[in-house]
Amino acid sequence: MNKLKFALKNLAVLALIISSFIACDKDFASVGADVIGENNFNTNSTKEYPVIAYTNPLQPVQTNNLPLNYLGAFNDVTYGLTTASFVSQLSANLYDPDFGENATIDSVVLSVPYFSRRTEISSEGESTFELDSIFGSDPITLELFENRFFLNSIDPYSEFDTPLRYFSNTSTSNGAISSDLLASDLYRIPLAADQPPLTSFVPSSQEIELWDEDDEVTDRLAPALRVKLDPNYWKEKILEKEGQTELSNANNFNNYFRGIYFKATALNNKGTMALLNFGSSSANITIYYSKDSATDSDERIQTTYILTFSGNRVNFFENQFNVSIPNGNTSEGDELLYLKGPAGSNAVVDILKSGDYEYGFSPEFMAFKNDFVETDDEGKYVKSKRLINEANLVFYVKQENVLGQEPQRVYLYDLNNGTPLSDYYFDITNNTAPAYSKAQHLGILQREGNVSDGQGIKYKIRITEHINNLLLRDSTNVKLGLAVSGNVNLENSLSQYKVQSSNDDIVKTIPVSAILSPRGTVLYGNNTTDETKKLQLEIFYTCIKTDDDCE
């Protein structure tokens, strides 16, 4: 009996504990409903706000010391032909060299690796590669010249504290570069006798095999622009200058041998353009030579003298557009936005009329701000009324105007300061696959059928943090720039490059990733009559339903 009473007592205690948990849970749910329940909050509200956007044709852009360089010709089916040539100073791996007794050149090889990835390797060790960053597939003519124009690092007309800028139209900050100095036949660098003329050059994805005298493979190299040069030229230019001032130090060498000019020419208005890393140590001119052994008179020693493409490097672009890029309507915006790299055009995006107004805000911007926050008499933030869940600019592709090879990415940035928006830094950086980096902020081109060669539909650019900065932190409502992009990761660490002149005084610089993209596109602007494609600021927000202004 006592055991039964004890059991019933324990059961009653357990029931009391369970009922108390249930009561607490009911109380919590009731309190939560009063605070965040669906009867008090609207979480599915959307508004659209006006944006002014217009095309800005670019004048020549600064191209010295880019992180990467283009070489070749690319015919964009929408815009037309762009030809990229290249000039670079050289640096030696050793100054004041001693080439040894009876030095003779065995061969001279110019090599610049392509961007490539290995896709297969056979049981015999042979690799199959796929090239990356190659645009087009038709042959070009490629010529090599000894550059006779001195590439100065410092502007000689300054106080010797200003770097000299070089621009895409073969000019500098203080004058034009003579084409005769870049590509005079007197200074043409000949190819080796057994090297076929580069009059039908196309980048090859073939693995490069090196052989010895017994026809055995000694090494396998990734695909590269690899050209044999005339040993006699380099014998006279380098080996015979041993012990003379020309090779004694870097300054003397740069004045003596001013670099190599790579001149590309399209064939039949077609071609191929390759993105190359001339700054890599693997990009070089290697002089293979033999000399007498210092210890054995019957022995010859094989060695090398290496010249790398360091110092000043400059890209030159020649655009032969079949589309006339219009000057934009800065007050009302454009029907269409024309974006083209590398020295083509970008767009200016003006959200809610930035500019000089009372308190620094336009009436349109203050009306927008008062939709979401309470402000004081000076338009400064006091408290929030609505929560922004997401803010987007959606740029639709004018599909009839874009016929293929559209840029995968576009880049939106602070035009006033030449810097990324705050959303850029909140997004994930993908260094392994830059084509997919910062994808939440700088949306990847959405294509029909979600396939890589599908027709482009739109780019959705998320600017939630930027808009919150305007509303909650009273940031300045700056104009934004929009440009094509070859690699959005580059904008994280590199300053923008100068524009020589501009139709819009505010556009003084251009993102480096826009210079490194030969592609172009045409997008709908804010002034289109097609309301389904019209550029607007799209806001998704949450507000309290008890607020009379809430919609």
Mean pLDDT of 199-221: 90
Residue type at position 112: V
Q: Are 226 and 295 contained in the same domain?
A: yes
| Domain annotation covers residue 29 | no
pLDDT digits (tens, 9 = 90+) for 444-486: 999 999 888 899 999 999 999 999 999 999 888 899 999 999 9
Tell me, yes or no, whether 252 and 370 share the same domain: no
d(CA 100, CA 294): 8
Residues 353 and 275 in one domain: no
pLDDT tens track for 59-90: 999 999 999 999 999 999 899 999 999 999 99
Q: Quick one: tokens of 206? A: 């073939």
Based on the domain organization, do 225 and 262 belong to the same domain? Answer: yes
Shared-domain flag, residues 90 and 201? yes
- Report the percent of the chain where pLDDT is more than 90: 72
pLDDT at 521 over 80: yes
- Indicate whether 54 and 94 sit together in one domain: no
Q: Could you tell me the two tokens for 202?
A: 């196309």
* Domain count within the chain: 2
3-class SS letters over 406-465: CCCEEEEEECCCCEECHHHHHCCCCCCCHHHCCCCCECCCEEHHHCCCCCEEEEEEECHH
Residue 149 scores a pLDDT above 90: yes
Q: Is residue 73 part of a domain?
A: yes
pLDDT, position 3: 43
pTM above 0.85, yes or no: yes
Residue 113 in domain: yes
Cα–Cα distance measured from residue 256 to residue 221, given in angstroms and rounded to the nearest whole number = 32
Same domain, 294 and 334: no
For residue 174, being part of any structural domain is answered with no
Which range is least confidently modeled, 33-42, 170-179, 185-194, 287-296? 33-42
Burial-class residue 184 by CB neighbours within 10 Å (0-12, 13-18, 19+): middle
- For residues 284 and 256, state if they share a domain: yes
Domain boundary among 311, 343, 377: 311
In a domain, 319, yes or no: no
Residue 175 lies in a domain: no
DSSP code of residue 267: B
Q: Is residue 450 part of a domain?
A: yes
Q: Is position 197 within any domain?
A: yes
* Encoded tokens for 185: 């036949």
Selected residue with higher pLDDT from 509 and 41: 509
Is the same domain home to 261 and 122? yes
Domain that holds residue 55: 46-59+324-544
271: which 2 tokens?
Answer: 């071609």
Statement to judge: residues 104 and 228 lie in one domain: yes
402-443, pLDDT tens digit by residue? Answer: 876 789 999 999 999 999 999 999 999 999 999 999 999 999
- pLDDT value of position 296: 86
- Regarding beta strands 313-321 and 127-131, do their DSSP bridges make them parallel or antiparallel, or are they unpaired? unpaired
